[in-house]
Structure 1
Amino acid sequence: MRKLLLFFSIVFIGVIFLGRLSYLQLFDNSFEALSNKNAIKIIYDYPERGYIYDRDGKLLVSNQPAYDVMVIPRDLKAFDTLEFCSLLKITREKFDKELARAKRYSPRLPSVIVAQLSKNDYAFLQEKMRKYPGFYIQKRSLRDYQTNIGANVLGYIAEVNPDNIKNDSYYQSGELLGKTGIEKSYEDLLRGIKGKKYIQKDRFNRDIGPYKEGVFDTLPEKGKDITVTIDAELQAYGELLMQNKRGGVVAIEPETGEILTMVSAPNYNPDLLVGRPRSANYMKLAKDTIAKPLYDRGLLAEYSPGSPFKILNALAALQEEVITPETKFTCYGGYTYARNTKPLGCHCYPGARNDMNRGIYESCNAYFGQTYRKIIEKFDDHKEGIDNWADHIKSFGLGNYLGYDLSTGRKGLVPDSKFYDKWYPNGGWRGVTTISNSIGQGEVLATPIQLANMTAAVANRGYYYTPHIIKKINDEPINIKKYTTPRRTTIDAKHFEPVVQGMYDVYRRPGGTAYYSQVKGIDIAGKTGTVENFMIIDSVKTQLDDHSVFIAFAPKDKPKIALAVFIENGYWGGRWAAPIASLMIEKYIRNEITRTDLEYRMLNGSLEEVYAKPYSGKPFRINE
């Protein structure tokens, strides 16, 4: 019995070995691949990155040649390190750090030691590279900006990090990809396809020529050129108007959802983040934590929307049939909604009887305080009331990501009953508790692009197209259903005309809050806003200078442009935001400026002194 057991054990083990050997020889090619890695070197031929054009075909971004010094750690031979560092114009410490990084990445694969040499440095160094086995020079393509505007829109390219390599096998250490803006959003189109050359090596690790006579070699394919929706002239003008100010300006074409301009101020010259000075320049920009030039205020800054938000409350009230355009409320210079509370003050004369039209163009807080309460208190359950209100507001694209093709963004906030239940776990809230929402102060938050999109929906009388920045790919117009399908609000089209008329009278009526910013011959509909601005300083809630905000579209009928302007610490809406909006509209529609008085004041005006102050205004204790 023992002899049989021994016999069968030997047979069984033999079968296992034979099976494994057959599998390795007939099916498993992993060792062949490993052998090829050792015997074949792959050299990548990097494609030219796709160009970027503005909506009128103006070239914004092209390419320029650059050269990287690469290393394959396994191929290194003894060399004069100090001499090599001198040639590369880097310190020994920098060299040692980059070489150690390359060895950690892979002894067999190439890594960058020095990136983005200039043409002159390349010409000088190329002749000497034969002295340094294991090093070679790789040609790359860097961005060449044909403009000094739109850095936040265009974005920049930079070296990949380990996460990029892990998440996309296309990239290897030292390669470049889009990090922000259009460069990031359309990286897959812009980057092209790398070419490959397979070089056979002998047993001494020397190159002996193309592998199999180059039959597997491929040529690089240039990245696709893209045309974006940005109007370069309007973008440049907007950035000029926003000099010495902080904030964002976003303009949209209502009939398409195409983004015409996205200004974030302060900004920077995109050329600063190209070439070898990129790292030093980036650190300078990143360390400016006060002005934050790298922070895209148009997409990321979440502000209280202020009085422009009253437009949505008016529309929601009409839809819910709790008021009509003729409904009047009395204003006593503001709205006092409960005893021992601070009134929502406004500039109406005491005893004024305001209907919707006047409530809009004079921005009456009492009118909209009462209107908001009627929306919420229509329902017996205040939770149902505020959820119904929130649904109307969200239908304009607020409180959620818009789904645009931009590389970053924030969702803002439209509070609902769940939000307030968290703030008041004992249930101690009612519609009047949230009264600040009536004038766009409260808990509501919106980004400038959301306000611009909201304005486009009003301009279209109840629908909008998802904002987007792509217009053409290789001269072929896009046909993306997401950007060509209208998204409808919860408000019936019939309710928009009285609201639009009120916005029109903001400009045309002598009491209108933007009366002094009107442009002759252009029918503009708009709404100013003065947004209270608080910050916690030394555990004290401190009121800073108000923000200036304005939304507008023009012409009133068949609008071509809708925009939002937000100026941090700009006092009131009519002081900075409304004039800038009027100038942007005239520039786009007429391509000339007749309101030269406004232009002079905006171009020469500055808020730098305000920003330099630690704070202004009086403190409000948190428990007050």
Structure 2
Amino acid sequence: MLENRRFVIIGFFAVIGLIYLSRLFYLQVLDESYSIVSSSNSIKRVIEIPFRGQIYDRTGKLIVYNTPVYDLLVTPSKARVEDTLRFCSVLGIERRDFDSLMTAASVYSRNKPSIFLRQLSKEDFASIQDVMVDYSGFQFAKSSLRTYTAPTLANTLGYVSEITKGQLEKQEEPYYRQSDYIGQSGVEKIYENELRGKRGTKFIMQNVAGVYKGPWKGGELDTMAVAGANLYSGIDLEVQQYADSLMVNKVGSVVAIEPSTGQILTMVSAPTYDPNILASRFFSKNYTKLVRNPYKPLFNRPVMASYRPGSTFKLIQALVGLQEGVVTPGTGFSHANCPVGCHNHAATTSIALGVTHSCNPYFYHLFRRVIYNNKISNTFKASAAGLEDWHSRVSKFGIGQQLGIDLPSERKGNLPDKKYYDKIYGENAWKFSNIYSISIGEGEILITPLKMANVAAIIANRGYFYTPHVIHGVGDQKKLDPMYTTRHESGVSMQHFSPVIEGMIGAVEAGTAKNARIQDMVVAGKTGTSQNKKGDDHSIFIGFAPADNPKIAIAVFVENAGFGGSAAAPIAGLIMEKYLRRKITNLAMEKRMKETNLMSKVVLTDQQRSLLKSDTVKLLKPDTAKKKAPVIVNPLKK
């Protein structure tokens, strides 16, 4: 019995020993990863950063690409710089810069390499490569620089910059490392996952001096970096730059949409800047200057600025009134008993004439009929039910909500409802006299230029729209999110659009929008003058062309420019003609708009004006706005 136990115990320890020996054999002979770790003195793991995807316009022209550059890394514990002044001279930096850069690297890690200098050009790299061999602890790493073929679309494209500490901590997957670049705004941010590509890993051999000795195991364990997906936009780069040139020395927005698809053709946020200035190693300095600029060039006005729509909102009021059945195309209203004034014209006898003449009393009476469902015998108290029904109708035009464009920070604006007025005046304590200003697009209504361009697209399509989007294809397959191909209905029947469009054509042919006319082409449009508490009113125009087969729908907002027909209408007309014909017939109007300078009308504080006199980043000027973009097929082989 005791003999049997002895064999069991011996057998048990023998099995344990075999297990340990097997594990040791696996770790030392079979497991490649252990081999790599154990050879850390001679094997180096190198992460390869892929090129970001490129961005193209609708005609195939390149807008954004990558230029190869080099980053200089430092490992503080290994760094040896005996002659600091000579070292600084070689790199073209000041001694104080050297001290601060070394301090930052040491704070990050004494034993890990980190960025010392970013984005050295190929020429800079070639000139100092041999000299840097004398300085241990420093090494170069290939990188890339975001490069723009034209000084345009800064806010739409966005920028990339070094990932912040907060972003590192919040990332859902452990992809980014310190000093990595990431899309921070615009298209670069929204499509970051598609643009960034996939990292590669290489294992290389080096001697104790850090000299490269070739790939480890012939590169068997290496993985290739995969470049990011290219993006294909609906932007027309030629028209975009032309729109930029018209908006120089002005504050405002231009948004143009292809009605049949929802693709953004042009998006101007003025004033703007050359996006290349935020794609250099002087990012921090230039970004700070842009933030300090009182004209707010970093503020993406097409999707973030909120304005009262003014008379352009009358188009929606007319369509809602027709759909509700409180008016017909032939309904007329006099100017009597109306608290809002009107322009010098006779009584309006139809919807079309109401739009053409932009008649305030007409839309006051129309709105009152909508709110009371034609029961207007006693209108001392406003009808909450009528307002809610009106709110529901108007919201289907995208007002008071995010449209879902592929850009960050889109503002909802404001479309007042019963809850809104109850909060201001008390529950059911408000009257029609408190809300009638919204009948003509004033009061509490706030919209963005993007939303009004979308309204123009809805009318151009006679009742529906596709969610506006900058990018219409991702990658070689040009994939597109289904949300951008989903048709959205306005809830207004097609037949109701005809009298409204008739009125818009009349406004362009002989009304307030006549400065938007295009020779030998029928254009539909509507001007608006948005009230402004600080300074002159804002000039607005929305419209589309050709009226019978719309190819472009547009909204133009020019701050402090006064009436809609004075600045917004002519700029819109010129842009539409440029897109449709690739030429301009009204050269006199073009010259006048390019030379118009409205910056002095922008109300600034004394402190803001003093900032303008300091060293600020120059905003886009006419000479840069009209600069033609080169057509580059493969920028890396130029």
TM range (shorter): 0.7 to 0.9
- Structure-1 separation of matches of 2:364 and 2:393: 17
Does the CA-based 8 Å contact 1:377-1:431 persist in structure 2? no
Residue in 1 aligned with 2:597? 606
- Structure-2 separation of matches of 1:37 and 1:413: 64
Amino acid aligned to 1:280: K
Q: Say which structure, 1 or 2, has more relative contact order (CA 8 Å, 6+ apart).
A: 2
| 1:370 correspondence with 2:375 | no
Residue in 1 aligned with 2:520? 521
Does the CA-based 8 Å contact 1:386-1:431 persist in structure 2? no
| 1:347 correspondence with 2:343 | yes
2:356 to 341, 361, 372: 361
Deviation at 1:410, TM superposition (A): 1.2
TM-score (norm 2): 0.83
Residue in 2 aligned with 1:155? 158
Residue in 2 aligned with 1:461? 462
Do the aligned partners of residues 502 and 353 (structure 1) sit closer, same or farther apart at CA in structure 2, a change above 3 Å counting? closer
Residue in 2 aligned with 1:115? 118
Larger strand proportion, structure 1 or 2?
1
Does the CA-based 8 Å contact 2:352-2:501 persist in structure 1? no
Do the aligned partners of residues 32 and 430 (structure 1) sit closer, same or farther apart at CA in structure 2, a change above 3 Å counting? farther
Deviation at 1:75, TM superposition (A): 4.0
| 1:392 correspondence with 2:397 | no
Aligned-residue CA RMSD (Å): 3.0
Helix, strand or coil: the match of 2:498? helix
Residue in 1 aligned with 2:67? 64
| 1:229 correspondence with 2:234 | yes
| 1:593 correspondence with 2:584 | yes
Do the aligned partners of residues 94 and 614 (structure 1) sit closer, same or farther apart at CA in structure 2, a change above 3 Å counting? closer
- Structure-2 separation of matches of 1:561 and 1:613: 35
Deviation at 1:292, TM superposition (A): 1.5
Deviation at 1:487, TM superposition (A): 0.7
Tell me which moved more, 473-482 or 221-230: 473-482
Aligned residues: 573
Helix, strand or coil: the match of 1:319? helix
Residue in 2 aligned with 1:286? 291
Does the CA-based 8 Å contact 1:434-1:442 persist in structure 2? yes
TM-score (norm 1): 0.85
- Structure-2 separation of matches of 1:36 and 1:497: 79
- Structure-2 separation of matches of 1:240 and 1:78: 50
Does the CA-based 8 Å contact 2:382-2:432 persist in structure 1? no
- Structure-1 separation of matches of 2:259 and 2:585: 24
| 1:262 correspondence with 2:263 | no
Deviation at 1:395, TM superposition (A): 0.7
Residue in 2 aligned with 1:581? 572
Residue in 1 aligned with 2:193? 188
Amino acid aligned to 2:592: R
Pairwise mapping of residues 462-481 of structure 1 onto structure 2 (< 5 A)?
462-481=463-482
Does the CA-based 8 Å contact 1:227-1:473 persist in structure 2? yes
Amino acid aligned to 2:572: A
Deviation at 1:38, TM superposition (A): 6.3
Deviation at 1:257, TM superposition (A): 0.4
1:222-270 Cα deviation digits (max 9, x unpaired): 2222221100111011111111111000000000001000011111122
Do the aligned partners of residues 353 and 298 (structure 1) sit closer, same or farther apart at CA in structure 2, a change above 3 Å counting? closer
Does the CA-based 8 Å contact 1:227-1:475 persist in structure 2? no
| 1:552 correspondence with 2:556 | no
- Structure-1 separation of matches of 2:221 and 2:556: 55
- Structure-2 separation of matches of 1:247 and 1:490: 31
Tell me which moved more, 136-145 or 470-479: 470-479
Amino acid aligned to 1:602: M
- Structure-1 separation of matches of 2:211 and 2:145: 31
Does the CA-based 8 Å contact 2:449-2:555 persist in structure 1? yes
- Structure-1 separation of matches of 2:572 and 2:141: 48
- Structure-1 separation of matches of 2:226 and 2:199: 7
Residue in 1 aligned with 2:324? 320
Does the CA-based 8 Å contact 2:54-2:66 persist in structure 1? yes
- Structure-2 separation of matches of 1:86 and 1:123: 16
Do the aligned partners of residues 33 and 428 (structure 1) sit closer, same or farther apart at CA in structure 2, a change above 3 Å counting? farther
Does the CA-based 8 Å contact 1:110-1:173 persist in structure 2? no
- Structure-2 separation of matches of 1:111 and 1:175: 11
Amino acid aligned to 2:566: R
1:342-388 Cα deviation digits (max 9, x unpaired): xx322134x62442111111111111111112212228972222221
Amino acid aligned to 1:87: V
Does the CA-based 8 Å contact 2:384-2:428 persist in structure 1? no
Amino acid aligned to 1:70: L
Amino acid aligned to 2:404: G
1:418-444 Cα deviation digits (max 9, x unpaired): 122222235421333111111111111
Helix, strand or coil: the match of 1:579? helix
1:554-600 Cα deviation digits (max 9, x unpaired): 11122111010000001100101111111111111111111223212
Residue in 1 aligned with 2:252? 247
Helix, strand or coil: the match of 2:178? coil
- Structure-2 separation of matches of 1:201 and 1:59: 40
Residue in 1 aligned with 2:314? 310
Pairwise mapping of residues 496-511 of structure 1 onto structure 2 (< 5 A)?
496-508=497-509, 510=510
- Structure-1 separation of matches of 2:117 and 2:324: 65
Deviation at 1:445, TM superposition (A): 0.9
Does the CA-based 8 Å contact 2:74-2:105 persist in structure 1? yes
Residue in 2 aligned with 1:169? 174
Amino acid aligned to 2:435: T
Do the aligned partners of residues 33 and 562 (structure 1) sit closer, same or farther apart at CA in structure 2, a change above 3 Å counting? farther
- Structure-1 separation of matches of 2:553 and 2:123: 48
Amino acid aligned to 1:526: G
1:160-211 Cα deviation digits (max 9, x unpaired): 2213323153222222222222222222222222221234689999988655
Do the aligned partners of residues 298 and 402 (structure 1) sit closer, same or farther apart at CA in structure 2, a change above 3 Å counting? same
Tell me which moved more, 242-251 or 323-332: 323-332
Do the aligned partners of residues 404 and 277 (structure 1) sit closer, same or farther apart at CA in structure 2, a change above 3 Å counting? same
Helix, strand or coil: the match of 1:153? helix
Do the aligned partners of residues 107 and 37 (structure 1) sit closer, same or farther apart at CA in structure 2, a change above 3 Å counting? farther
1:115-171 Cα deviation digits (max 9, x unpaired): 112333212322133333322111111122221222222222222221332315322
| 1:299 correspondence with 2:303 | yes
Residue in 2 aligned with 1:137? 140
Tell me which moved more, 600-609 or 309-318: 600-609
Do the aligned partners of residues 32 and 385 (structure 1) sit closer, same or farther apart at CA in structure 2, a change above 3 Å counting? farther
- Structure-2 separation of matches of 1:496 and 1:36: 76
Do the aligned partners of residues 91 and 204 (structure 1) sit closer, same or farther apart at CA in structure 2, a change above 3 Å counting? closer
Tell me which moved more, 372-381 or 238-247: 372-381
Residue in 2 aligned with 1:275? 280
Deviation at 1:302, TM superposition (A): 0.9
Do the aligned partners of residues 550 and 36 (structure 1) sit closer, same or farther apart at CA in structure 2, a change above 3 Å counting? farther
- Structure-1 separation of matches of 2:148 and 2:130: 30
- Structure-1 separation of matches of 2:389 and 2:34: 66
| Structure 2 unmatched ranges of 5 or more | 1-15, 376-380, 607-638
Do the aligned partners of residues 109 and 226 (structure 1) sit closer, same or farther apart at CA in structure 2, a change above 3 Å counting? same
Amino acid aligned to 2:520: G
Helix, strand or coil: the match of 1:352? coil
Helix, strand or coil: the match of 1:335? coil
Does the CA-based 8 Å contact 2:414-2:444 persist in structure 1? yes
